[in-house]
Homo-oligomer: A and B are copies of this chain.
Amino acid sequence: MVTLSDVAKEANVSKMTVSRAINHPEQVTPELLALVEKAMTKLDYHPNSVARALVNNRTNVIKFVTLEDIDTTEPYYMNLLFGVARGLKADSYAIQLVTDIDQIQKGNADGYIITGAREYNYPIFDELKKPFIFFGETSSNFDFVDTDNRYGTSIATKYALERGYQDAVFIGIDVKEGFEYAREYGYLASMQERNLEPKIFRTGNHSHLAEKLIDEQIENIKPNTCFICASDRLAIGVCRALSRLNKKLPEDYGVIGFDGVFLDQVSNPQLTTVKQQIFKMGDMLAQLILEKIKQSGSAQGQTYVKPELVVRGTTK
């Protein structure tokens, strides 16, 4: 293994000059800098991140915490995770996956990325001694990254109406969470802008529940309506019901989902959906937490990432 000392010998300087050339190049004269760099490339030197971590009292580990009790199998998190991995790559940071809330405090890390946090989890975070960033809006003043949900349903609704659907109905998820409120709000505002009366139904986030809902309500919904759904799961259920009821998609009715992860593509026909930029958000989370660590915990603010409408087979 090539060490700092080896490079120092090769370049005929002290270890410290090499160290400085790496970490504070502005403190080294250009001539020596060149010498050191030549030696480093010649020997193919790579800093030992463990030794570096030891002196800096770091671990080079970020904990990726998934608190939601949902099936972590959700492809959603996979995307996020790969985004995080990408953001961490350059700094030779590694990830520890945590699904059990009791495990958060076990072992060490330089920082945390936390997903699926609920209000009642907040006390736990107050005890964390290392910086953390949330994925998903929080009511507290924590740093977070989230999708601009309001914007998402807003562009979906507008698109539907522009494409010639006469009405838009919202199929929401029956939970009291910020993301759902935001998605409903985006729909509401867009409807009111056009002086249309909003209509919102809610049910559990399962395709068969949405299917049942449509079965029951289809008589109250006039043709040439577009369903704006709060998730792709719901959208798939809506499609299934419509198809069974012999309604033509996308002529008689339109369907727009939300999420754009995996499900939208395996459905038949493929869903028009509001696609969250999950990979990108993962990348951002990584960069923000690294920055926060560097700045020993200073706030990084709250970031909303705009989703994009992906038009496929379920809308005109």
Contacts and interface: CB of A to CB of B under 8 A. Distances in A.
Interface stretch (A87-95, A180-188, A291-299): A87-95
A166 interface: no
Contact of A97 (B74, B85, B108, B266): B85
Given A48-B54, A51-B54, 8 more contacts: A49-B108, A50-B53, A60-B94, A72-B78, A75-B262, A82-B97, A85-B97, A94-B96
Interface in A55-79: 57-61, 72-75, 77-79
A123 interface: no
A59 B92 CA distance: 11
Contacts of A103: 89
A191 interface: no
Copies in the complex: 2
A81 interface: yes
Interface residues of A, number: 45
A97 to B, nearest CB: 4
Nearest to A270: B208
B74 A78 contact: yes
A60 B97 CA distance: 14
A49 B97 contact: no
A298 to B, nearest CB: 22
Interface in A33-49: 46, 48-49
A236 B236 CA distance: 14
